[in-house]
Amino acid sequence: MPTQRFPFQRLPDDLGLMVLNTMEYHEMWVHFLESFIFVVFHFRFAFSFTSKKSLSMVTALRLPIRHVKLAFPNEIAVLFDRAYYRFYLKMHENDYEIRTLNDLPTSVDIYFGNGGLRLTWSNQGKKIDEWIQHFCSISQQENRREVSINTRKARLNVQSLRNTFPRLKKVSIHCSGEELNENGISSSEAALRAFLPNLDTLLLYGLPPNRSIGSIGMANLKQLHVYLDGSPYNLKLEDLLSLNVKTFIIMINEFSIRDLNRFFKMWIMGSNPKLEYLEIYGHCSRLPDWNVLLNGLKAVEEEEEGGSDEPQEEGPKEAEAVEEPEDVQDDEGQEDDEEVEDEDEKDDYEDEGSELEDEAEYEDEEEPEEAQIVPVAQVPRAAQRAENTTVVKTYTIRNSLGVFAEIETEFNRSAYVNVGLKFTVFN
């Protein structure tokens, strides 16, 4: 007996919505793929944002939206389980940038997939805020929404941002070339005031005018990422002590080792109880003195992850998990003459000679005095970069409440010195 196909495509719209509401997601896919309605539906979805009936159909399908990204002021991207749409809102040629949420785009470029099919659509009479609200109405999961704001030439105010955007969990703000709005407030400052109270994660590329890291970090955030590698801002002890976040990651030009020592001493005494992870990366004009960092902390040194040219008298068995050449830890009877031919003070480092034996491609490089070479490329670099070194050391400290934390220090010396520090609390 032949199987009768259900004539879904001939149903009235109202009945079609009722049927969709009773179907499981995989049943929709099977039906649409068999009748080629799936492709037609996705084109209809892209070209029918002004239709309430089409919006009802999209909502009834309960499509699993992985991500909604609003890269204000120009781009809105929606990632479904099996489809990706990107809407690029265009302005007049003589005024390319969108400045306010009330702006009306002249046209909309629609992309299907990653730079694939491109179509141009009229604005359909929708302003920027109406476009944003429409996209957010499709996704009912707040944790899937993300806003990335570039404040260049944009004039935003707090109330319009709160009225336009729903409750958000993650926001990225790019602070550059800002203009003040009618109230004399920068766009990045307006975005902070609008979103900061309810955020979980905040990413800052630059700082708003007259703002410090401490004034932002005292908000009740889960994660705060700050990227200031091109800024003259100096990280202060007050900024660290003001943090009320679980995770704080910052890239900055330079930071004070002495201030970090004071911060860790304050942590031992009970400050920053919420902090679980701290990561700092920056540049230094000279090699860091980690003795200043560890002064008075009663830190216990652990096995070095990156290895060192200094022999370890005692070390935990777990060191074997580090990515190093095998069969070299206990072999003290071998000596690699090719790797150490330029060094005349290596009598105490015979156990390290076999460790470099399997790295023949680096035999022409001179081993520095304070760290072993970490092979990061198969082709040796130019002569001025041939002495790149990376040194990683790990220490454990404990605060007055008995909570342990791990301090990992790292520096890389090439054309300049890169310094990194990670602080992890074990609750």
Q: How confident is the model over 351-404, as pLDDT tens digits?
A: 444 433 433 333 343 333 333 333 333 334 443 344 456 788 999 999 999 999
DSSP for residue 10: G
Query: Looking at residue 13, what is its pLDDT?
Result: 63
Query: Looking at residue 43, what is its pLDDT?
Result: 53
This prediction's pTM: 0.67
| Residue 267: both structure tokens together | 């942590």
What are the domain boundaries of the chain? Answer: 12-62, 64-290, 334-341+349-370
Query: Looking at residue 24, what is its pLDDT?
Result: 58
In sequence order, what DSSP letters do the residues of 132-183 get, joined into one string? HHHHHHH---GGGEEEEEE-TT----HHHHHHHS---SEEEEE--S--B-TT
CA distance 91 to 154: 13
Query: Looking at residue 278, what is its pLDDT?
Result: 96
CA distance 148 to 47: 25
Query: Which residue in 206, 200, 190, 108 sits closest to 154, CA to CA?
Result: 190
Query: Looking at residue 93, what is its pLDDT?
Result: 59
Query: Looking at residue 124, what is its pLDDT?
Result: 74
Phi, psi torsion values for 194, nearest 5 degrees? -75, -40
Query: Looking at residue 364, what is its pLDDT?
Result: 40
* Cis-peptide, bond into residue 166, ω within 30° of zero: no
Listed as ranges, residues in the chain with pLDDT below 70 are 1-51, 54, 57-68, 72-73, 80-83, 92-99, 113-117, 138-145, 153, 177-184, 303-389, 414-416
Query: Which residue in 425, 410, 416 sits closest to 280, CA to CA?
Result: 410
Are 354 and 337 within 8 A, CB to CB? no
Query: Which residue in 55, 107, 112, 121 sits closest to 79, CA to CA?
Result: 112
In sequence order, what DSSP letters do the residues of 223-234 get, joined into one string? EEEEEETTS---
Query: Looking at residue 261, what is its pLDDT?
Result: 95
CA distance 415 to 135: 47
At 366, which amino acid appears? E
Query: Looking at residue 131, what is its pLDDT?
Result: 79
